[in-house]
């Protein structure tokens, strides 16, 4: 059943939403809800949790307690050892160390039936969460038992890293269990103490706000959604209203993954003429970022004859920083208009007010700040030679701009320095050399892109979507996969047959989704990469889960429109999915 959360708008969980969606006891009986949020929020979520529990739901919050919220822990969990791991599954434990038949058991097991995880009677007695103490400092190595009403902050250190450690490990445990990987499970579980698939929560709230913690949490949610059959997971939602209500059905993991797609922002700072715009153009070309120059946006605003135009023009002529609300408004509009999610914001934040306003309005924290270090005499010469006819490229204004930069912008750089977010590059060298020095900071985006391409490709395969599949795959793809019985397969027809077959069989019992587990990426220079992972197949028929290891070799090329794209050139797959047995 899919519950429509249509009233979810900006800052979702308002009174109206609670009344409309849940007053009818819709959620009684252990419906699952995954709630991810990037934003700080307080009262609304507290109310929501209370309500959710009243109607019989259970909630697991991911992330750290945020200021202003009373974090009532209404989560569920229980420790798992081999014994209850075994009982979690219908008839085949995913692994059993002493079992000679371990191999075959690890390859195929039934999806746990939700009721064996979440019996109604369990709900009442298990509204506590067991968290390995070493993820929260100061608990003397004991497992914490948090009861409903306990403020998490009373027990946990407010360190995101620590609490997120729990999520990371949980995620890895889920994957390890599903993949039948005993060793990883042991490692990730910190011995064989606990594992997450025994958490019978019906609601996951992720309050982690950014970066690795956020993607870890999103992955965690994906994993939970994979573990729980779709009928048990009704809604995912997200607090900012950008994603709004997302309905979770068999594509649960995809939905959770989508939610992770939040803008990545890199601030580009440096004195006037340090070469920000010049380097941004290269970064855009190579790494697919959208370049937003605060100065360009302001100049365009002036040129458009807007009501603030004269004021903006006068301030810029004086080298002054314009009111933050104006600049942030322009940036926000440009980000939304682009429809993209990776931005280089150039010449911003110019002062503390810029920084604070941006954070408050967008809730976005930059991935890092790229800072160009250049002496004033070099910058001055460059600006005087720029020849773009800017009103502020004259000696008098340039010097004022230098002053504003050192008095107002440098403190912002210092602020980010304290957060270890500044990536400093000397920009006195020729442009190509400066760019060479920038590249290492962007390697991780190449890795993310190729992984993203892999996920999209796998999704296309699951959906029998041959159009998307072809977009990602080279016509001369070579492959070793079990279906080819040890022969090297060349070209697409062999693979397209499987896609077409899936396409024709979209009846319920043929549905298959797969998830990439424990992926790794190895870049071979800038234009080639190997991606490896365990692929977890979940077939509705059965229901059955099986796994396979895949290695995909990708090449990065320029497409016709000049943008770089990743193309799959080789594939190796170990075992074929086994839902027919």
Ligand X SMILES: Nc1ncnc2c1ncn2[C@@H]1O[C@H](COP(=O)(O)OP(=O)(O)OP(=O)(O)O)[C@@H](O)[C@H]1O
Ligand Y SMILES: Nc1ccn([C@H]2C[C@H](O)[C@@H](COP(=O)(O)O)O2)c(=O)n1
List interacting residues with ligand X (CB under 6 A). Answer: 270, 272-278, 295, 347, 382, 386, 427, 430-431, 434
Instruction: Name the residue with the smallest CB distance to ligand X.
Output: 275
Among ligand Y, ligand X, none, the one that 386 touches (CB under a kind-dependent 5 to 8 A) is ligand X
Of 277 and 532, the one with the shorter C-beta distance to ligand X is 277
Read off the tokens for 91. Answer: 């008839």
341 has binding-site annotation: no
Give the span between the Cα atoms of 450 and 311, in whole angstroms.
45
275: phi > 0 → left, psi -120 to 50 → alpha, else beta; which?
A: left
User: Cβ 216 to ligand X, closest distance in Å?
Assistant: 35
Contact 206, 217 (CB under 8 A): yes
Contact 243, 237 (CB under 8 A): yes
378 has binding-site annotation: no
User: Cβ 360 to ligand Y, closest distance in Å?
Assistant: 15
Of 30 and 347, the one with the shorter C-beta distance to ligand Y is 347
Of 281 and 496, the one with the shorter C-beta distance to ligand X is 281
Q: 414 vs 49, 406, 410, 438, 458, CA distance in Å?
A: 39, 11, 6, 20, 43
> Where in 385-424 is the site for ligand Y (CB under 6 A)?
392, 401
Contact characters 302-341, ligand Y, x per CB under 6 A: --------------x--x-xx----x--------------
Of 196 and 330, the one with the shorter C-beta distance to ligand Y is 330
Pick the stretch among 16-24, 346-354, 488-496, 531-539 that binds ligand Y (CB under 6 A): 346-354
User: Cβ 285 to ligand Y, closest distance in Å?
Assistant: 20
299 has binding-site annotation: yes
User: Cβ 281 to ligand X, closest distance in Å?
Assistant: 8
Q: If binding is defined by CB under 6 A, does position 531 make contact with ligand Y?
A: no
Distant-in-sequence, close-in-space partners of 520: CB < 8 Å, separation ≥ 6: 531, 532, 533
348 has binding-site annotation: yes
Q: If binding is defined by CB under 6 A, does position 544 make contact with ligand Y?
A: no
Which listed residue (94, 271, 295, 366) binds ligand Y by CB under 6 A?
295
Of 340 and 426, the one with the shorter C-beta distance to ligand X is 426
Q: If binding is defined by CB under 6 A, does position 354 make contact with ligand Y?
A: yes
Pick the stretch among 113-121, 205-213, 347-355, 416-424 that binds ligand Y (CB under 6 A): 347-355
Determine how β-strand 564-573 pairs with β-strand 368-373. Answer: unpaired
Of 73 and 294, the one with the shorter C-beta distance to ligand X is 294
Which listed residue (350, 495, 511, 573) binds ligand Y by CB under 6 A?
350
Give the span between the Cα atoms of 63 and 216, in whole angstroms.
10
User: Cβ 334 to ligand X, closest distance in Å?
Assistant: 16
Give the span between the Cα atoms of 86 and 94, in whole angstroms.
8
Give the span between the Cα atoms of 167 and 135, in whole angstroms.
9
Q: If binding is defined by CB under 6 A, does position 348 make contact with ligand Y?
A: yes
Beta bridge pairs of residue 515? 536
Q: How far apart are the first and last CA of the chain?
A: 28
User: Cβ 318 to ligand Y, closest distance in Å?
Assistant: 9
Give the span between the Cα atoms of 460 and 539, in whole angstroms.
16
275 has binding-site annotation: yes
Give the span between the Cα atoms of 11 and 37, in whole angstroms.
10
Of 274 and 466, the one with the shorter C-beta distance to ligand X is 274
Among ligand Y, ligand X, none, the one that 382 touches (CB under a kind-dependent 5 to 8 A) is ligand X
Neighbouring CB atoms inside 10 A of 579's CB total: 19
Q: Look-up: residue for tokens 């100065």? A: 295
Contact characters 244-283, ligand Y, x per CB under 6 A: ----------------------------x-----------
Of 82 and 359, the one with the shorter C-beta distance to ligand Y is 359
User: Cβ 179 to ligand X, closest distance in Å?
Assistant: 48
Contact 126, 76 (CB under 8 A): yes
Write a three-state SS string for 151-171: EHHHHCCCCHHHHHHHHHHHH
User: Cβ 537 to ligand X, closest distance in Å?
Assistant: 50
Instruction: Note the residue count of the chain.
Output: 581
Of 120 and 431, the one with the shorter C-beta distance to ligand X is 431
Q: Helices (DSSP H) in 268-389: which residue ranges?
A: 276-287, 294-303, 309-317, 324-338, 352-362, 376-386
Among ligand Y, ligand X, none, the one that 360 touches (CB under a kind-dependent 5 to 8 A) is none
329 has binding-site annotation: no
Give the span between the Cα atoms of 226 and 237, in whole angstroms.
17
Give the span between the Cα atoms of 488 and 319, in whole angstroms.
64
Of 110 and 400, the one with the shorter C-beta distance to ligand X is 400
Query: Which helix (H) or strand (E) segment is 528 a member of?
Result: strand 528-539
429 has binding-site annotation: yes
Give the span between the Cα atoms of 92 and 112, in whole angstroms.
10
Read off the tokens for 563. Answer: 């943008």
Contact characters 118-137, ligand Y, x per CB under 6 A: --------------------
Q: If binding is defined by CB under 6 A, does position 427 make contact with ligand Y?
A: no
Of 222 and 283, the one with the shorter C-beta distance to ligand Y is 283
Q: If binding is defined by CB under 6 A, does position 347 make contact with ligand Y?
A: yes
Give the span between the Cα atoms of 329 and 127, in whole angstroms.
44
Among ligand X, ligand Y, none, the one that 278 touches (CB under a kind-dependent 5 to 8 A) is ligand X
Q: Look-up: residue for tokens 């429109």? A: 561
Write a three-state SS string for 272-286: CCCCHHHHHHHHHHH
> What residue numbers does the annotated binding site for CMP cover?
354
Q: Which residues bind ligand Y (CB under 6 A)?
A: 272, 293-295, 298, 316, 319, 321-322, 327, 347-348, 350, 354, 392, 401
């Amino acid at each position: 059943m899919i519950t429509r959360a249509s009233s979810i708008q900006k800052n979702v969980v308002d009174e109206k939403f609670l009344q409309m969606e849940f007053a009818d006891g819709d959620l009684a009986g252990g419906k699952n809800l995954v709630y991810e949020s990037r934003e700080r929020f307080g009262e609304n979520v507290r109310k929501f949790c209370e309500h959710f529990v009243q109607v019989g739901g259970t909630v697991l919050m991911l992330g750290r307690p945020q200021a202003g919220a009373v974090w009532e822990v209404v989560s569920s969990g229980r420790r798992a050892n081999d014994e209850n791991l075994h009982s979690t599954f219908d008839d085949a434990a995913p692994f059993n160390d002493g079992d000679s038949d371990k191999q075959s058991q690890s390859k195929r097991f039934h999806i746990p039936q939700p009721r064996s995880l979440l019996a109604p009677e369990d709900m009442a007695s298990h509204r506590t969460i067991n968290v390995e103490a070493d993820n929260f400092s100061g608990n003397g190595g004991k497992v914490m038992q948090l009861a409903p009403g306990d403020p998490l902050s009373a027990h946990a250190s407010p360190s995101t890293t620590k609490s997120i450690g729990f999520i990371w490990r949980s995620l890895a445990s889920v994957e390890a269990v599903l993949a039948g990987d005993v060793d990883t499970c042991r490692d990730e579980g910190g011995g064989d103490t606990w594992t997450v698939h025994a958490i019978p929560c019906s609601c996951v709230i992720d309050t982690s706000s950014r970066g690795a913690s956020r993607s870890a949490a999103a992955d965690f949610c994906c994993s939970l959604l994979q573990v729980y059959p779709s009928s048990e997971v009704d809604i995912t939602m997200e607090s900012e209203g950008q994603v709004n209500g997302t309905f979770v059905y068999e594509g649960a993991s995809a939905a959770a993954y989508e939610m992770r797609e939040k803008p990545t922002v890199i601030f580009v700072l440096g004195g006037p003429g340090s070469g920000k715009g010049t380097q941004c153009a290269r970064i855009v070309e190579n790494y697919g970022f959208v370049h937003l120059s605060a100065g360009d946006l302001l100049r365009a605003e002036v040129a458009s004859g807007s009501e603030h135009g004269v004021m903006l023009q006068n301030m810029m002529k004086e080298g002054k920083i314009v009111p933050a609300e104006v600049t942030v408004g322009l940036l926000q509009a440009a980000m939304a208009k682009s429809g993209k999610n990776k931005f280089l914001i150039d010449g911003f934040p110019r002062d503390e007010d810029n920084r604070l306003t941006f954070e408050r309005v967008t809730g976005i924290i930059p991935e890092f700040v790229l800072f160009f270090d250049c002496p004033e005499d070099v910058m001055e010469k460059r600006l005087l030679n720029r020849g773009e006819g800017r009103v502020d490229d004259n000696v008098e204004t340039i010097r004022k701009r230098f002053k504003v930069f050192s008095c107002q912008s440098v403190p912002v750089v210092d602020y980010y320095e304290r957060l270890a977010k500044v990536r400093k590059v000397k920009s006195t060298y020729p442009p190509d050399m400066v760019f060479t020095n920038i590249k290492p900071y962007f390697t991780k985006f190449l890795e993310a892109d190729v992984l993203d391409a892999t996920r999209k490709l796998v999704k296309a395969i699951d959906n029998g979507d041959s159009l998307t599949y072809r977009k990602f795959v080279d016509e001369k793809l070579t492959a070793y996969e079990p279906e080819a019985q040890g022969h090297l397969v060349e070209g697409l027809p062999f693979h397209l047959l499987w896609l077409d077959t899936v396409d024709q069989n979209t009846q319920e019992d043929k549905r298959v989704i797969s998830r990439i587990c424990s992926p790794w990426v190895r870049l071979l220079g800038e234009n080639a990469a190997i991606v490896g992972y365990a692929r977890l197949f979940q077939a509705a028929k059965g229901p059955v889960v099986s796994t396979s290891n895949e290695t995909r070799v990708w090449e990065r090329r320029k497409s016709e429109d000049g943008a770089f794209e990743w193309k799959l050139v080789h594939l190796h797959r170990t075992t074929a999915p086994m839902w027919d047995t």
